Amino acid sequence: MKSQYAVIGLGRFGSSLSKELIKLGHEVLGIDRDEEKVDEMSAVLTHTVVADSTDEEVLKSLGIRNFDCAVVAIGDDIQASILTAILLKDLGVKQVVAKALSELHGKVLTKIGADRVIFPERDMGIRVAHQLNSPNLLDYIELSKDYTIAELSVPRRLCGKSIKDLDPRAKYGCSVVAINKQSGVIIAPMATDVVNEKDVMVIIGTNDQIEQFESEVIG
Ligand code: ATP
């Protein structure tokens, strides 16, 4: 469904986020106090405006409360980030997402009522470290502190092996929930389904189970 987003701060993060939202079919109002940043994005976004988001009257006049979600993508200027997030909540924006540069910045944003706080640099750093540590780990989602879904690429060595041959459930306690092949995705594969080079196995289990399976079988 098409939603209306306001993205405040059109730096590297805000501009990339807003372009992607447009690609996904949403409407995006981009706000930045820097005219150059706004000019760069004016042809791409639904609306753009040069404005200071710490000015309550400006936010009101933009009808900000009618947006489904507002993203505060201001980083360096922590004061502006916090003031903007407070104003957005006060003005009744349903969902306020804010980018934090540090743990403390994130804590303040949570305290003042931001619905979601994101740490792009910290989280991307962690993600890249995991991928460097396990070259066959393409991506992962942490379901909780202990459980993860991981995408593992199948090395040539395992080409032609069936799920039964690998037997991750009996040997490691984790399960293959899907195999992504060039020909299509097999959901809930059977024991007889075979993996080939370049297939991607989607595994669910505890972090330890997946790590062990990755290092002993895929690695
Ligand atoms: P990025 O890493 O995304 O490039 P950053 O973390 O370096 O960004 P900043 O440069 O502080 O973050 O902010 C991103 C954008 O937010 C900048 O284009 C800046 O002009 C804009 N911005 C900062 N404060 C305000 C404000 N009060 N109102 C509107 N825009 C603002």
Final residue of a structural domain among 84, 119, 154: 119
Q: Ligand 1 centroid to 183 CA: how many Å?
A: 43
Q: Are residues 111 and 155 in the same domain?
A: no
Same domain, 92 and 174: no
pLDDT tens per residue across span 52-95: 999 999 999 999 999 999 999 998 999 999 999 999 999 999 99
Helix (H, G, I), strand (E, B) or coil at 107: helix
**Bridge partners of residue 49, in order along the sequence:** 31
Domain that holds residue 153: 134-218
CA of 78 to the centre of ligand 1 (A): 10
**What is the reported pLDDT for 13?**
96
Which residue has the least CA distance to atom 21 on ligand 1? Answer: 9
* Cβ–Cβ under 8 Å, residues 177 and 120: no
By CB atoms closer than 10 A (0-12, 13-18, 19+), residue 185 is exposed
H or E segment at 56?
A: helix 56-61
Same domain, 144 and 183: yes
- Same domain membership, residue 61 and residue 18: yes
119, 154, 169 — which closes off a domain? 119
- Residues in contact with ligand 1 by the CB-under-6-Å rule are 8-14, 31-34, 37, 52-54, 73-77, 80
pLDDT for the residue numbered 184: 93
Q: In DSSP terms, which residues pair with 153 in a beta bridge?
A: 200
Picking from 95, 119, 143, the residue at the C-terminal end of a domain is 119
Decide if 180 is inside a domain. yes
Note whether residue 124 is domain-resident: no
Does the pLDDT at position 178 exceed 90? yes
CATH code at position 176 = 3.30.70.1450
| Claim to verify: residue 150 and residue 65 sit in the same structural domain | no
pTM for the whole structure? 0.82
| Model pLDDT, residue 131 | 85
